[in-house]
Amino acid sequence: MFQASLRARSDHTNAVVTATGSMPEVAALEKIGTRMTLERGKALFHEGDPADHVYKVVNGAIRTSRLMSDGRRYVLDFLFPGDFVGINEDSVRTMTAEAICETVLMRYPRRLFEAVVEEDRGLGRLVYAALCDGLASAQDRMLLLGRKTAIERIASFLLMMADRRPDGRVELPMTRADIADYLGLTVETVSRILSQLKAEGVIAMREPTRIVLVRRAKLESLADGA
Amino acid sequence: MFQASLRARSDHTNAVVTATGSMPEVAALEKIGTRMTLERGKALFHEGDPADHVYKVVNGAIRTSRLMSDGRRYVLDFLFPGDFVGINEDSVRTMTAEAICETVLMRYPRRLFEAVVEEDRGLGRLVYAALCDGLASAQDRMLLLGRKTAIERIASFLLMMADRRPDGRVELPMTRADIADYLGLTVETVSRILSQLKAEGVIAMREPTRIVLVRRAKLESLADGA
DNA sequence: CGCATAGTTGAACTCTCTCAACAGCCGTGG
DNA sequence: CCACGGCTGTTGAGAGAGTTCAACTATGCG
């Protein structure tokens, strides 16, 4: 009955959404959940597996992806603390979920999770909002993939990642290959364009995983095509 | 609270979903709906408009799209009879919806629509399933846009369109430009590849809008990369 | 009949990919 | 402690898929 990994954030419904961790409705959830840890690179589940659990990222980061028969990969999403994984999957997984770094998750049996959601209006709305949010960001990405140039994609990506962390600093726990597969580019192009942005002084990058948005306005205009 | 146009089909929940038109829960909806007609090319709403109605396509076809500041367009979806339009929009439209041919719609005030959905479990599930379905197809399209070649995209598109009509015949009410903007290609490429498929005997095409899938199996292997 | 719009086809160009080499980092083990 | 191999990231050069520009055809509508 479900299909994607979800993210509950502030845009829809209201502020309640972001505060998941401390909301009363979560109590009902926590009762049925168990904590688990996943090492970097380990899979939470694979395409084709039975979808009998729902997860929430507590710490770390998850990457969801799909594989084509010839090995081409597409990264559907990166999930960070607070995001749900595996909600909205049908009975069978349509994607693979792997930890891109040491990751802590809460794991809920799907039946129970759905029962709780069914009972609890507030949680139901939360899940619904997460679903809407997922759809909205999927649409943003379709525009990105369908019509944006490589520079525009990278700029958009950096801004998206920056939105999750308030200051200008961006942590990129994923590899260049992950970024490439997320943006529909190749590793080389990602690397080249990051270097170019660095050379132009738009971003700073001492280590490959740590980026600082130096000229955010410039990035924003680049993201939109300028 | 909403963001996209939705489509309720059979995959999720159950067969009930496809039979929308004849379901009991729809009675409640029809009470609050009014019928309307839209000429070819006319807009149902524009990006930025207040989102105070939800629509259902009765007849014809709707195209939803987004525009970038420099005029690049991306077509989010084509909506056909039975599909909902404008569900899951926030208070402001994030996309433009236009009729690609003479189109009949049912129009429901959003407040009332949401109230009915809130009341009616069955309808709620229907909307929820539609949302899941929209997300699933958005994910398919991200893979398509991110990793498929032009031929693979066209083949996938033709198969998608064919799935809506049982026989091998495909009606394409949209222009080549619409298809191009939907698949992240240019008009010329779409045209060229359709010609190529025709020359190879994979499809037949007497008029640009009518296509017959002659060798469906071939198309299917093309769609996946073979 | 003539103009506007949609579709097709050709040729040149370009952005991104592919292939290849190299650099940097890290953990393992001698 | 350093050498080594493996993995990730960077950079260069050449190739190619799809775009851009342009001309032409077909279709429909006044």
Chain A residues touching residue B183 (CB < 8 angstroms): 146
Confidence (pTM): 0.92
Residue among A136, A87, A85 nearest A116 (CA): A87
Taking the C-alpha atoms of residue B147 and residue A181, their distance in angstroms, rounded to an integer, is: 8
Å between B92 CA and D12 C1'?
A: 48
pLDDT in tens, A64-118: 999 999 999 999 999 999 999 998 888 999 999 999 999 999 999 999 999 998 8
What is residue A125's three-state secondary structure?
helix
Chain B residues touching residue A225 (CB < 8 angstroms): 68-70, 72
Chain A residues touching residue B147 (CB < 8 angstroms): 68, 72-74, 181, 184
A90 to B129: CB separation less than 8 angstroms, yes or no: no
Closest nucleotide (CA of B208 to C1')? Answer: C7
Going residue by residue through chain B, which has 226 residues, state the pLDDT in tens, using 9 for 90 and above.
333 456 655 444 333 333 344 445 577 888 999 999 999 999 999 999 999 999 999 999 999 999 999 999 999 999 999 999 998 888 999 999 999 999 999 999 999 999 998 888 888 888 888 999 999 999 999 999 999 999 999 999 999 999 987 788 999 999 999 999 999 999 999 999 999 999 999 999 999 999 999 999 999 999 998 7
- Chain C nucleotides reached by a protein CB under 7 Å: 6-11, 15-20
What is residue A12's three-state secondary structure?
coil
Residue among B64, B137, B153, B58 nearest B100 (CA): B64
Tokens found for residue A213: 């948005």
Taking the C-alpha atoms of residue A28 and residue A43, their distance in angstroms, rounded to an integer, is: 27
Taking the C-alpha atoms of residue B194 and residue B214, their distance in angstroms, rounded to an integer, is: 13
Å between B35 CA and D28 C1'?
A: 30
One-letter-per-residue 3-state SS of A153-194: HHHHHHHHHHHHCCCCEEECCCCHHHHHHHHCCCHHHHHHHH
Residue B52 DSSP one-character state? -
B90 to A13: CB separation less than 8 angstroms, yes or no: no
Query: Which of A136, A138, A224 shows the shortest C-beta gap to B142?
Result: A138
Taking the C-alpha atoms of residue B21 and residue B27, their distance in angstroms, rounded to an integer, is: 9
Distance from CA of A65 to the nearest CA of B (A): 9
Taking the C-alpha atoms of residue A108 and residue A34, their distance in angstroms, rounded to an integer, is: 7
Å between B16 CA and C18 C1'?
A: 49
